[in-house]
Amino acid sequence: MQPPDISESEWVVMEALWQGAPQTASEITKSLRPTTNWAENTVRTLLTRLVEKGALKTDENASGTRVFSPAVKRETCVGAESESFIQRVFRGASKPLLVHFAQNAQLTPEEVRELKRVLDQSLKNRS
């Protein structure tokens, strides 16, 4: 199954649910309000879209209130977003992405070592 195409605003809602689910629309609104200032109707609209896209599933809690939970894993959506980004910005080529990242990111020595370890492991896996 293809991961759902999630907009930037929908991603914010998904992050809240990946961090803790299930949640009601009111709970999500309360947790997002300090950073987004969204009204509950806005959150409900985003939740409806995410359910329609198959990104969320719904249930009822003990008091009969509708609750929302992710239907897809964060890692699945990150992978799809990463692939989409590489296709759009770097025409599908990973090397220019990595070069750009290495030249422009403020990596700590530990992060450089970890990146090198990951790349070395990638080479071993191809052998």
The predicted model scores a pTM of: 0.81
Classify 4 as helix, strand or coil. coil
Residue 1 has pLDDT above 80, yes or no: no
| pLDDT band at 105; cut points 50, 70, 90 | confident
What's the pLDDT score for residue 76? Answer: 94
Residue 125 has pLDDT above 80, yes or no: yes
Rounded Cα distance, 71 and 56, in Å: 5
Taking every pair of Cα atoms in the chain, the longest distance, rounded to a whole number of angstroms, is 56
What's the pLDDT score for residue 56? Answer: 98
